[in-house]
Amino acid sequence: MKRFAVIASALLFVGSLAAAMLELAPAAIDLRGPVAAHLAASGVSHPVTAVLLNYRGYDTLLEIAVLLLALLAILAVVGEPGAARPAPAHPVLQTLARLATPLMIVVAVYLLWAGAFRPGGAFQAGAVLAAAGVLLHLAGLLPGWQTPRLRLRLGLAGGFALFLAVAGGLLAQGTLLQYPPALAGGLILLIESGLTLSLALTLAGLFLFLSRDEVAP
C-alpha cells in the first residue's frame, strides 16, 4: 500500500513538473550578459571559473569549509585505527597503478592551469589527485591513513586557510572577496593552487580515513 502510494505520488510529481517545464516562460533574469561583460576584469577568461572564484567566491569559500567539516565528522565517527594496509593486489594492477599515478599528477597540474581559460580548475584537479591516491590504496601500495598529524592537518586545512586569508586581506577594501582587477588573475591562481592540494587531500581522506579500520582478511 505504502509502495503504491509513493510510486503514484512520484509519478504525479514528475507529470506536473514536466508540464510546468514545458510551459515555462523565458527566465526573467539573464546573467549571461553581465558575466560576459565583466569577464575582462575577473582575471580569468573562462566564465565558469570566473563565477566560481570571482563573482561568487564566497560560495566556493563555504564549499571548502563544508568539505572540511564532513572530513572532521568522519574522523569523529570512524573507530580506532586498526590494521590499515589492504591485501596487496595483483602485480599487473600494481604496475599499472604505479604507471598511472605520475600521469594523473601531470593531468591534475594541467587541469589546474587550464581552468583559467577552458573547462578545468581546482575541483577537477583535486578530484584527479584524490583518485590517484585511492587507486594506490586499492592496489595495496598506500596504507589507509591514521589519525592525521600536524603536516597532514596543515595540508587538509591549508586551502581553506589560504582562501580565508586572501578574503580577510581584501576585506580592507570594504567588500568580501572583491579582487582588484590587476591582481585578480594571480590571486585566483594562488587560491586555486591551495584549493587543489587541500581538496585532493580531503577527497582522498574521505576514502582513506574510512578504510583505515579495515581488518585484513
Partner 1 sequence: MTSGLLFALVGAALFALGVAGVVLIDHLLRRILAFNLMGSGAFLVLVGLAQRNGVPDPVPQAMVLTGIVVAVAATALALALTRKLHALTGRLELPEDADD
Residues 6+ apart with CB under 8 A from 216: 83, 85, 86, 87
Cβ pair 54, 43 in contact under 8 A = yes
Q: Largest Cα–Cα distance of the chain, in whole Å?
A: 64
Q: For residue 19, which amino acid is it?
A: A
The minimum distance between CB 14 and partner 1, in angstroms, equals: 5
C-alpha of 53 from chain center: 13
The minimum distance between CB 92 and partner 1, in angstroms, equals: 29
Applying CB under 8 A, among 45, 56, 90, 118 the residue interacting with partner 1 is 56
Distance CA 70, CA 48 (A): 25
| Residue 165 is a binding residue for partner 1 (CB under 8 A) | no
- Residue closer to partner 1 (CB basis): 51 or 104: 51
- The interface with partner 1 within residues 32-51 (CB under 8 A) comprises 32, 35, 47-48, 50-51
Applying CB under 8 A, among 23, 26, 87, 150 the residue interacting with partner 1 is 26
Contact track, partner 1, 115-154, x by CB under 8 A: --------x-------------------------------
C-alpha of 14 from chain center: 31
Site of grid cell 592551469 = 113
| Residue 207 is a binding residue for partner 1 (CB under 8 A) | yes
| Residue 206 is a binding residue for partner 1 (CB under 8 A) | yes
